[in-house]
Amino acid sequence: MTRHVTVRLSSGAVRGRRVDGHLFFQGIPYAAAPVGELRWRTPAPAEPWSGVRDATVPGNPAPQLAQPFEAVTSLDEDCLTLDVTAPEETSEGAGKPVLVWLHGGGGTNGTATAYDARRLAVTGDLVVVKPNFRLGVLACFGYPGLADSGTFGLRDQQAVLRWVRREIARFGGDPDNVTLAGESYGALQVAAHLTAPASAGLFHRAVLQSVFSVLGSTPAHLLIPGVPALPPRWSPVAESQRFGAAVAAEHGWVKPGSDPESALAQLRRVPVKDLLQTSGAFIRPAFGGAVLPLSPEVAIPAGRFHRVPVLLGTTRDEARFFVGLFADAVGNPVTAEDYPRLLAEAFGDAADDVATRYPLDDFATPSLAWAQICTDRAWARPTWELGRAFATHTDTWLYEFADRDAPAPLPLAGLPSGAQHACELRYQFDVAGTPPLSAAQRRLADRMNRYWAAFAADGDPGRDDLPAWPGFGTGHVQSLAPDRVGGTDYVAEHRLDFWERMP
C-alpha cells in the first residue's frame, strides 16, 4: 500500500511516497534549471516554492540522445534534480549513513531513475541520494572566456553534495557520514572529486566501480574495436577551450569575428538538439582551473587527494560488453585475420609478446580473446595501479565481481556475456527490464549491499556476519560470486606481471 509522506526542506515542502518498507522522493531540485543565460554556468540555487511540491514523479534526465546501450532521449535542460530513498523506519535526525550515487553512461547518457535503490537502502539501512547532472557538451564544453570551462558536471555534483549537507538530516541521514559512489563514468567523477578542492569535507568515503583509465591513456581498440588510442580522461582547460571554439566555428554556432562575450551569448541560444550532435566529443573534465587545479592522473599518485577510505573494483570480464556491443552485435566480430592487425595497432613492437600470452587457441572465438586482452590491459591493470596509489595514503579495499552467469545489461548474440561491464549493478539496484536474479544471485546481492553499507557506515566493508575482506594493503582482492566470496589471485588472473612491462 502506498502512502504519502511530506518533508520540509529549506526551499519548500516535498511530498514523496511510503511504500514497501521504504520512503521514496523523486525530482527534488537541488539547483536552478541551467537554461538560457544559466547554460554553461556554475549551478545557481534552486528557487524556493510555496505549498507542497509533488516528489512522486521522476525529474528530467539530462539532455541526451539515445545510444545502443541507453534508450533514453531528452532535450530538456531543466534537469538538476535528485531522488532520495530511505528506510521506512527513519525520522529526522536519525543519523543514518548516506550514499550519493553518480550514474554511468559514458559521459553522454544515463539517468538516476534507472537505479531503484530500495534494496540498497533497506538492506543497508542507508539513505541513498541519486542525482541527475549535466552530461556531454553541456557538462564538459569549454570556450575562451567561459568561466569553469569543462567542469559544469562536476560543479553540479558539488551542488548535490552541498544540498546533502544542508538537507539530508530531514530524511534521517547524517550529513557528516556521506559516501560518494559511482560506476563507470560516474566513478571517474568520484576520482575528480577526490582531488577537487571545493569537494573537500563534502564526503567521507569513496566508491569507484569499474572506473576507466584514471591514470593514463589507452591503446587503440582497447575500449571499442576500431577506436583509436584514447587520450587521458582529463583535458587541460586551454585545450578544452580551443577545442570548443573549433567545434563552434565548424558548426556555425558563432559568427566569425565575434568577441568572447557575444560568442557565448550566441552559443547559449543554440538549440540543445544541435549541441547534442557533438556530445561524445565533450566527456573529458578539464583541469588547470579552480575546480580541478591538477589532473587527477598527476594528483592521485602524488598523494594530493582527500584522505578518505576508498573501495574500488572491476568486473571479471569488463570488456565483453564493449566487444559484444560494438563488434559482434553489429556483424563485425574480431576474426583470426583481424587479430594480428589489432595487436600491432595497439601494442606496436610488443604485439608478438601479447599474442604469445593470449594465443587464439586458448579462446572459443577471437572476439573472446580480444575481450580478455582489453579487460586485462584497459581495466584490471589501471584499477590495480589506482588501488596501489590510493593504498599508499589511505585505507583501500579492492574487489572483483565474478558472477559469469550474471544477467547481462545487454544480451549479445554470439558472445558469452560473462561478468561484463555494469552487470554488478543489477545486484545493487533494481533495474527495469532485466532478468530476475536466481536465489543464489539474490544471496550474493544481499551480501554485496551489506558490504557496501558497512563501508558507508564506518569506512570498512568488513562485518562479522560476512566473509572476511582484508584491506588492499595486504594485496587482497575480494572476489564476489554466488558460489564463492573471498580472496582471488587478481594478478595471475589478469596477467598483471606481464602487463606491467607492456605499453
Write out pLDDT tens, residues 305-335.
Answer: 999 999 999 999 999 999 999 998 888 999 9
- The one catalytic residue among 22, 193, 421, 494: 421
Report the sign of the C-alpha dihedral through residues 411, 420, 375, 207, in that order: positive
What confidence tens digit (pLDDT) does each residue in 169-227 have?
A: 999 999 999 999 999 999 999 999 999 999 999 999 999 999 999 999 999 999 888 89
Region 285-302 average pLDDT: 98
- Is residue 493 situated within a structural domain? no
Residue 397 lies in a domain: no
pLDDT at 233 over 80: yes
- Can 47 be counted among the known catalytic residues? no
Q: What is the pLDDT of residue 164?
A: 98
pLDDT of residue 224: 87
pLDDT tens-place string over residues 10-36 = 999 999 999 988 999 999 999 999 999
Residue 296, SS3 per DSSP:
helix
How far, rounded to the nearest angstrom, does the alpha carbon of residue 200 sit from its chain's CA centroid? 19
Helix (H, G, I), strand (E, B) or coil at 411: coil
As a whole number of angstroms, the distance between CA 379 and CA 369 comes to 15
Confidence of residue 413 (pLDDT cuts 50, 70, 90): confident
Instruction: Give the mean model confidence (pLDDT) for residues 414-434.
Output: 92
Q: Does any domain span residue 398? A: no
pLDDT score recorded for residue 201: 98
- Res. 396: pLDDT tops 90: yes
Half-sphere exposure of 99 (CA within 13 A, CB side): 30
- Residue 93: per-residue pLDDT: 81
Summarised one tens digit per residue, pLDDT across range 251-282 is 999 999 999 999 999 999 999 999 999 999 99
Start-end of H helices in 286-433: 296-299, 320-326, 338-347, 351-357, 366-374, 381-391, 425-428
> Total structural domains in the chain?
1
Is residue 499 one of the residues assigned to a domain?
Answer: no
Q: Which residues contact 149 (CB under 8 A, 6 or more apart)?
A: 141, 142, 143, 237, 240, 241, 244, 286, 289
Q: Which of 77, 167, 183, 318 is catalytic?
A: 318
Confidence of residue 111 (pLDDT cuts 50, 70, 90): very high
Indicate whether 254 belongs to any domain. yes
Q: Which of these is catalytic: 11, 149, 184, 213?
A: 184
> What's the whole-number mean pLDDT along residues 6-11?
97
Of the candidates 281, 275, 233, the one whose C-alpha atom is nearest the C-alpha of residue 251 is 275
| pLDDT digits 0-9 by tens, 131-141 | 999 999 999 99
Rounded Cα distance between 134 and 79, Å, is: 7
Residue 436 pLDDT greater than 80, yes or no: yes
Domain, as residue range, for 91: 1-61+73-209+235-283
| CATH number of domain containing 84 | 3.40.50.1820
| pLDDT tops 80 at residue 412 | no
Is-catalytic flag, 103? Answer: no
Q: pLDDT at position 168, please?
A: 98
What are the Cα distances from residue 106, in Å, to 55, 135, 254, 416?
A: 28, 9, 28, 22
pLDDT range class, residue 1, cuts 50, 70, 90: low
158 within a domain of the structure (yes/no) = yes
Active site residue 204: no
344 in any annotated domain = no
The pLDDT-based confidence of 466 (bands split at 50, 70, 90) is very high
Pairing, β 3-9 against β 484-487: unpaired
- Is pLDDT above 90 for 409? no
What's the pLDDT score for residue 45? 98
pLDDT digits (tens, 9 = 90+) for 65-93: 998 878 889 999 999 999 999 999 888 88
Distance, CA of 321 to chain centre:
16
Q: Is residue 253 part of a domain?
A: yes
Is residue 270 within 8 Å of 165, Cβ to Cβ? no
Using 50, 70 and 90 to split pLDDT, how confident is the model at 434? confident
| Residue 94 vs residue 341, higher pLDDT | 341
Q: Taking the CB of residue 54, how many other CB atoms lie within 10 A of it?
A: 13
Average pLDDT value for residue range 28-50:
98
